[in-house]
Amino acid sequence: MHALASSETLSQADLKAFHNEATRVVKSQPSWVTVILLSPEGQQLVNTIQPLGQPLPKAVEVESFQKTVKTYQSTIGNLSQSPLKPGMIGVPVRVPVMQDEKLSYVLTGVINQTAIARVVREQPSIDGEWTRTVVDGEGIVVARTRAPERFVGQRGTPSFLKSIRESEEGLYRETTLEGVPVYIAFRRVDGSPWTVAVTVPATVIEKPVQRAMWLVVGSGLSLLVISGVGAYILSRPISRSITSAALAAEALANGKYPQINPLSIKEVALLGQSLAFAAHLLSQREQERTDHLQRAEAAREEAEAANRVKDEFLAVLSHELRTPLNPILGWSHLLRTGKLDAAKTAVALEAIERNAKLQTQLIEDLLDITRIMRGKLNLTMVPVSLVSVTEAAIATVQLAAEAKSIQIHPALDASTGLVLGDSTRLQQIILNLLTNAVKFTDRGGKVSVQLVRADSQAQLQVSDTGKGIHPDFLPYVFEYFRQEDSTTTRRFGGLGLGLAIVRHLVELHGGTVEADSPGEGKGATFTVKLPLL
């Protein structure tokens, strides 16, 4: 869409050529319904459904159009029906077309509702999951895995609409339109008014609780039965003993020698011991059951956390790998038209080269992580001067730092000495730390690089005045696939692998690496220590 918005045909106001170009783009995108070009006043100028010159209506789904006109930002609209293609419903994605810092057009790509529904259906299901639903900003159902023909295009239940208006995410219990008691978990889609929800039958959630309740009730009934049997057994010897004592007293009154059987309550003692043993055994079984439940819950939480990290990383990976491809494909398409002048051609080639290098770096990071996790990363160990390696790394990031008006202040002690290591991997360590410092430091900031000798070790510190690190995230900063939050990826890019690679490479050289930060917005300091020869 952005490549199409920068088309030369729009800057020349050649609507016929743009209509042809947009039609070709729509044919290459199976999930697109049409491409529409609108004036800032909301009048459709081009619609690939209609031949150029045919009368066209005003903008459909006005809210997202007005938001784009007002904010000059790309906007996702709500589900709407095409007035030119009855029965076809879709979602508008709007991109502003700026010329000379003014809004000239609003470019709209309409995404087929069935394409969104297909994405929802293809997601891996959760155990016990009943249905998945996506609603737009007006609460209209865009996609639903269960009975879509009945619900797509309709509003959700009043309780669901009330919940998503009051909170961006939550969990509550209600009865569905089909009359089934369920639990509904929902969350607002980042950067849009849409909401996704997963519905699970109440029986799936409540069954473990009911099972635990029946276990407690059964244990109580068993204990009651044992007590009743014990009371019956205890009463018999006591009754016999009392009867024997009464007969002996009667014999004595009649002048006869009483035959007295020894009075014993051994049965009572044994019964008490049995009951105590049974109680102890029952308590032991209950403790074992509680321990098993706690271990199972801990394992489930750990698995869910690992699964969330994996899903977040895969989402970041998908986004980061696609991001350089979009401008490459867009500019390549424009170059093939042969209509770009020399200046625009140079801009196009520079954009393609820059994004190709970014793609290459992402793939190199993935390959390094793969080698590290498989234990296949080999080093060529030779005596290396950290001063020269550090200077080479600084020279590599100098251009990126100057582009953001960031000053790099090196303080390298030439008498530090040599370390035993792989010069390429040592430079990769320092380059990753410097690249992070420049990336997370705002324009006009400062990055300091210090290399000194500390006893029998070489100590390298890279400090910046950037965004800093939250204290809660500081212990996880060197872990694989971990980033402080998803907004970090959207704002700064990257896969979150650089520091994990740094830690592993430093450890392979027999050294240590530490991170320190006073807090968010107060910068960060990374310290690498390597043993000297």
pLDDT tens for 372-422 read 767 777 788 999 999 999 999 899 889 889 989 999 999 999 888 899 999
Q: Hey, what are 159's tokens?
A: 């309780």
Q: Hey, what are 224's tokens?
A: 């009651």
Phi, then psi, of 134 in degrees rounded to 5: -125, 130
Going by pLDDT thresholds of 50, 70 and 90, the confidence category of residue 95 is very high
pLDDT of 332? 87
Going by pLDDT thresholds of 50, 70 and 90, the confidence category of residue 232 is low
What is the 3-class SS of 415-455, one letter each residue? CCCEEEECHHHHHHHHHHHHHHHHHCCCCCCEEEEEEEEEC
The domain boundary, picked from 315, 341, 374, lies at: 374
pLDDT of 277? 57
pLDDT of 253? 61
128 and 75 in one domain? no
The domain boundary, picked from 247, 264, 281, lies at: 264
Lowest mean pLDDT among 27-31, 131-135, 457-461, 482-486: 482-486
Q: What is the CATH number of the domain that holds 446?
A: 3.30.565.10
Q: Is the pLDDT of residue 168 over 60?
A: yes
201 and 135 in one domain? yes
Q: What is the CATH number of the domain that holds 338?
A: 1.10.287.130
The domain boundary, picked from 216, 239, 264, lies at: 264
101 and 163 in one domain? no
Best CA proximity match to 314, nearest among 67, 124, 56, 475: 124
> Average model confidence (pLDDT) for the chain?
80
- The answer to whether 464 and 483 are in contact (CB under 8 A) is no
Best CA proximity match to 194, nearest among 65, 284, 99, 64: 64
pLDDT of 267? 47
How many structural domains compose the chain?
4
379 in helix, strand or coil? coil
Whole-number Å distance between alpha carbons of 121 and 142? 12
Residue with tokens 């509702």: 113
Q: Is the pLDDT of residue 368 over 60?
A: yes
255 and 271 in one domain? no
Name the more confident of 420 and 146. Answer: 420
406 and 364 in one domain? no
Best CA proximity match to 412, nearest among 373, 365, 384, 453: 453
Cβ-Cβ contacts under 8 Å for 427 (sequence gap 6 or more)? 389, 392, 393
509 and 413 in one domain? yes
Whole-number Å distance between alpha carbons of 223 and 217? 10
Going by pLDDT thresholds of 50, 70 and 90, the confidence category of residue 484 is low
pLDDT of 451? 94
Q: Hey, what are 42's tokens?
A: 């909301």
Cβ-Cβ contacts under 8 Å for 512 (sequence gap 6 or more)? 506, 528, 529
Q: Where do the DSSP E strands lie in 319-402? A: 382-385
412 and 273 in one domain? no
pLDDT of 488? 47
Q: What are the residues facing 92 on neighbouring strands? A: 110
Residues 455-480 pLDDT 10s: 899 999 999 999 898 888 888 888 86
Q: Is the pLDDT of residue 269 over 50?
A: no
The DSSP output letter for 74 is -
pLDDT of 430? 92
140 and 88 in one domain? no
Q: Hey, what are 528's tokens?
A: 């690498």
Name the more confident of 180 and 469. Answer: 469
Whole-number Å distance between alpha carbons of 431 and 412? 15
pLDDT of 492? 47
101 and 36 in one domain? yes
pLDDT of 268? 43
Highest mean pLDDT among 216-220, 317-321, 374-378: 374-378
Q: Is the pLDDT of residue 230 over 90?
A: no
Q: What is the CATH number of the domain that holds 167?
A: 3.30.450.20
What pTM, to 2 d.p., does this model score? 0.40
Whole-number Å distance between alpha carbons of 22 and 35? 6
Classify burial at 120, counting beta carbons within 10 Å of its beta carbon; exposed 0-12, middle 13-18, buried 19 or more.
Answer: middle
Strand 141-144, strand 75-76: pairing? unpaired
446 and 329 in one domain? no
327 and 196 in one domain? no
Residues 237-257 pLDDT 10s: 666 666 665 665 566 566 665
Give the sign of the dihedral formed by CA 337, CA 341, CA 344, CA 345.
positive
Lowest mean pLDDT among 41-45, 258-262, 376-380: 258-262
Going by pLDDT thresholds of 50, 70 and 90, the confidence category of residue 260 is low
Whole-number Å distance between alpha carbons of 193 and 76? 8
Residue with tokens 């209600």: 174
Domain that holds residue 470: 382-531
pLDDT of 356? 81
83 and 6 in one domain? yes
